[in-house]
C-alpha cells in the first residue's frame, strides 16, 4: 500500500459518515426522444463507496453527469450534497464535488505539483495572476504522499505513466476538500501494476478519509477496490440492482446486466469474473 504522511479531513464542510450525499429520486433523462435513464432512484451516504457498472450504452455516463452537477434530469429530482439541481448554481455546486477523469485534457508540460494545484481553480492550466499559499502547496504535497507520489511534485506531466497520472488527478480532485469523489473509469489504459497501484491508493484514501463518499464507474469488476461497499448495476438506462456489494455483485445479476453468463467470485476482497462453463453436448 502506498505510504506517506497521514492527512486529516478539514473541519469545514466535513462529510459525516451515514449522512446522505446523493439522493436521486425517480430521475429520467430524455435526449432527442431517446430515454437514456429511466425512473432511477439512488441514495449514496457519507463513507459509502459505490461501484457503477453496466455495458456500453447502459446510462453510466449520463448518470455520472447528474451526480456531478453537469446536467439536469428531464423528470424526477437529484440532490447533490443537499442541493437540488434546478434550484442552485451548478458552478458553485461543482466546486464541492471532486471529479477524476483519466482523459484530462492537459497538453502543457506542467510539473506534478502545478497539476494538483489546478484543482483549487477548477482549471486545466494555472490561472494567470493567481498564486497558491504555502499552506495549499503543503497540502498538495501531503495528498501526493497519501497517493504514493511522495517527492514527485517537481516532475513533468509528460514523464508520468498513465497510472501515475491517475493518482495525481485524484490528488487534484481532493485538494479543494470535496465531500464527494466521482471516478470515471480511472483504470482505463493501465497495465496490471498501474491498476494495482491505483487501487491500493484508493483503499488508502478510504482509510484516511472515512467520511468521503465515492462513486466509481467501470466495466470490469476486477477494477474495483477492496473497500467497495455498494454497487449499482445499470441495464438499458434502468437500475437492475442496487445495494451492498454482497447482494448485488452476484453471478446471476452480473450475467443479466451484461447479457452474458458469467461466474463471479471474490477472494481477499477482490472480484474475479469468468465465463460460465457450458455443459458439453454429448
Q: How far apart are CA 38 and CA 28, in angstroms?
A: 5
Burial letters for 63-85: b for 16+ Cβ neighbours within 10 Å, e otherwise? bbbbbbbbbebeebebbbbebeb
**Burial class of residue 271, CB neighbours in 10 A (0-12, 13-18, 19+):** buried
Per-residue pLDDT tens digits of the chain, which is 282 residues long: 343 333 333 333 455 667 889 999 999 999 999 999 999 999 999 999 999 999 998 999 999 999 998 889 999 999 999 899 988 887 778 878 898 988 888 889 999 999 999 999 888 898 898 889 999 999 999 999 988 899 899 999 999 998 899 999 999 999 988 889 999 988 888 888 888 988 988 998 888 888 999 999 998 999 999 999 999 999 999 999 999 999 999 999 999 999 999 999 999 889 999 988 766 555
- H-only helix segments in 26-133: 60-67, 90-94, 112-117
Asked whether the beta carbons of 174 and 145 are under 8 A apart, the reply is: no
> Which domains, ranges and CATH numbers included, belong to the chain?
13-96+180-250 (3.40.50.300), 108-177 (no CATH)
pTM attached to this predicted model: 0.86
Amino acid at each position: 500500500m502506498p505510504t506517506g504522511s497521514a492527512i486529516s479531513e478539514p473541519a469545514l464542510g466535513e462529510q459525516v459518515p451515514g449522512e446522505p450525499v446523493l439522493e436521486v429520486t425517480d430521475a429520467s433523462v430524455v435526449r432527442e426522444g431517446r430515454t437514456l435513464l429511466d425512473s432511477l432512484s439512488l441514495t449514496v451516504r457519507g463513507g459509502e463507496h459505490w461501484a457503477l457498472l453496466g455495458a456500453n450504452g447502459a446510462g453510466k455516463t449520463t448518470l455520472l453527469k447528474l451526480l456531478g452537477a453537469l446536467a439536469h434530469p428531464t423528470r424526477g429530482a437529484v440532490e447533490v450534497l443537499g442541493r437540488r439541481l434546478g434550484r442552485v448554481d451548478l458552478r458553485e455546486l461543482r466546486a464541492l464535488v471532486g471529479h477524476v477523469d483519466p482523459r484530462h485534457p492537459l497538453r502543457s508540460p506542467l510539473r506534478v505539483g502545478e497539476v494538483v494545484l489546478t484543482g483549487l481553480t477548477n482549471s486545466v492550466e494555472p490561472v494567470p495572476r493567481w498564486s497558491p499559499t504555502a499552506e495549499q502547496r503543503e497540502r498538495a504535497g501531503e495528498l501526493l504522499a497519501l497517493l504514493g507520489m511522495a517527492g514527485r511534485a517537481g516532475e513533468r506531466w509528460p514523464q508520468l505513466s498513465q497510472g501515475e497520472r491517475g493518482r495525481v488527478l485524484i490528488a487534484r480532485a481532493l485538494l479543494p476538500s470535496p465531500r464527494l469523489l466521482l471516478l470515471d473509469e480511472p483504470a482505463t489504459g493501465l497495465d496490471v501494476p498501474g491498476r494495482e497501484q491505483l487501487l491500493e491508493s484508493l483503499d488508502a484514501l478510504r482509510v484516511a478519509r472515512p467520511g468521503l463518499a465515492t462513486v466509481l464507474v467501470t466495466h470490469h469488476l476486477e477494477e474495483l477496490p477492496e473497500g467497495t461497499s455498494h454497487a449499482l448495476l445499470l441495464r438499458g438506462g434502468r437500475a437492475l440492482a442496487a445495494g451492498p456489494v454482497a447482494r448485488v455483485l452476484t453471478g446471476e445479476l452480473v450475467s443479466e446486466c451484461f447479457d452474458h453468463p458469467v461466474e463471479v467470485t471474490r477472494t481477499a476482497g477482490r472480484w474475479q469474473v469468468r465465463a460460465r462453463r457450458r455443459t458439453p453436448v454429448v
